[in-house]
């Protein structure tokens, strides 16, 4: 709308019409500004929606690769929540130190019982020792998936590197881990994802594939470069920290499995002392030093403890499914006495529950060559 100002109009009318036209222009300008403001608000809101900050769990071992994965994704703008799954065979101590070094709070989640059940019959078997790496990683991813809703997580990352480990990080092994996890399509492996099949976070644009890395095989020079970039000064060796990769520990664990003694109370003793199998139902653990002795006796609850009665020496702990016979007690005492250097060839061994060693037996030290028959 616009009012005409014809030359024949009287001055008063001309002035009135000019004022009306000025008001109309002001109204139109205001309407334009309001529309423009609303448009900007809508665009900004759309941008905010598009720029959602995605949250991801990071399976965190405390090794260099897991540290780099966390820092790389964090640098890209993701909210990273590191989580460590502990069991009877790996604890969180090193992971907690690593998380502290990169200034992250670590969630520690206990999967001991589930891990022990898995260990009895892993679908993909064992590695060089008693390490069921594929099944173990699959279990961890599956447990992480069950925690996603609680922690408002969108997807899961790990520090796995294609081809770095011969059993668990081959291309087919990574696929097997994904299948076991039951959330294969939510997994991202930032250090190698450029070389891997796209998963949901990539396809949906939550994660840009060009931002991911293409590290592979066992060389570590690229990780060293990244460690320098992120000023990481200390990290544990690859694959370190899991007792199941240790040959001696694995022998002792296999012995428990072979004799149907795969119980948490027996597994706790495997980290300490020398282990001897006396019968299908009975074994004795003999401390190597004072630290072993202290650890063994602190773990003993209903177990029988043996000690040389008159001479200093190691402690012995019996692990048994049933009450040991008198003959089995004598064999155990003679094995203990073999490692009691100050005791004579024939000596007295006291035994009983915990420190109530009210029973005694006099035995001869077992022949040194005979020891090998019992040693696990």
Q: Quick: pLDDT tens for 63-112.
A: 999 999 999 999 999 999 999 999 999 999 999 999 999 999 999 999 99
Strands in 79-86's sheet, in edge-to-edge order, are 107-110, 79-86, 55-59, 155-158, 187-188
CA distance 285 to 289: 12
Nearest to 186 by CA among 303, 62, 287, 56: 56
Core vs surface per residue 129-166: b (16+ CB within 10 A) or e: bbbbbbbbbbbbbbbbbeebeeeebbbbbbbbbbbbbe
CA distance 135 to 121: 10
- Is the pTM higher than 0.85? The answer reads no
Of 163-167, 313-317, 361-365, give the lowest mean pLDDT range: 163-167
Q: Quick: pLDDT tens for 347-370.
A: 999 999 877 899 999 999 999 999
CA distance 112 to 110: 6
Calculate mean pLDDT across residues 179-190. 94
Q: Quick: pLDDT tens for 263-301.
A: 999 999 999 999 999 999 999 999 999 999 999 999 999
Domains of the chain: 55-242 (3.40.50.620), 246-374 (no CATH)
Check: CB of residue 337 under 8 Å from CB of residue 365: yes
Res 44 pLDDT > 90: no
As given in the structure block, the two tokens for residue 227 are 């460690």
- Helix, strand, coil percent values for the chain (each to nearest 5): 45, 15, 40
SS3 274: strand
């Amino acid at each position: 709308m616009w009012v005409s100002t014809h030359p024949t109009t009287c001055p008063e009318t001309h002035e009135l019409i000019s004022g009306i036209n000025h008001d109309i222009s002001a109204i139109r300008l205001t309407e334009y500004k309001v529309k423009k403001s609303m448009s900007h608000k809508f665009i900004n809101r759309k941008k905010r929606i598009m720029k959602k900050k995605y949250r991801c769990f990071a399976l965190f071992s405390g090794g260099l690769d897991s540290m780099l994965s966390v820092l790389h994704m964090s640098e890209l703008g993701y909210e990273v929540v590191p989580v460590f799954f502990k069991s009877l065979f790996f604890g969180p101590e090193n992971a907690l130190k690593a998380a502290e070094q990169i200034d992250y709070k670590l969630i520690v989640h206990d999967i001991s019982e589930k891990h022990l059940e898995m260990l009895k019959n892993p679908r993909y078997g064992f590695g060089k020792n008693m390490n069921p790496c594929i099944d173990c990683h699959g279990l961890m991813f599956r447990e992480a998936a069950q925690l996603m809703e609680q922690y408002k997580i969108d997807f899961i990352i790990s520090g796995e590197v294609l081809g770095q480990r011969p059993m668990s990080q081959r291309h087919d092994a990574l696929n097997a881990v994904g299948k076991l996890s039951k959330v294969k399509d939510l997994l991202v492996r930032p250090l190698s994802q450029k070389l891997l099949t796209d998963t949901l976070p990539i396809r949906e644009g939550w994660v840009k594939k060009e931002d991911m890395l293409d590290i592979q095989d066992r060389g570590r020079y690229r990780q060293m470069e990244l460690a320098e970039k992120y000023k990481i000064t200390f990290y544990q060796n690859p694959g370190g920290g899991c007792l199941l990769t240790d040959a001696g520990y694995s022998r002792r664990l296999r012995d428990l499995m072979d004799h149907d003694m795969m119980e948490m109370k027996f597994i706790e003793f495997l980290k300490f002392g020398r282990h001897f199998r006396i019968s299908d139902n009975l074994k004795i653990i003999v401390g190597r030093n004072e630290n072993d002795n202290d650890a063994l006796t602190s773990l003993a609850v209903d177990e029988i403890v043996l000690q040389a009665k008159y001479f200093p020496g190691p402690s012995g702990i019996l692990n048994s499914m049933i009450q040991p016979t008198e003959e089995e007690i004598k064999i155990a005492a003679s094995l203990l006495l073999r490692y009691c250097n100050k005791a004579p060839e024939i000596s007295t061994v006291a035994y009983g529950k915990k420190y109530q060693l009210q029973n005694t037996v006099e035995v001869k030290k077992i022949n040194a060559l005979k020891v090998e028959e019992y040693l696990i």
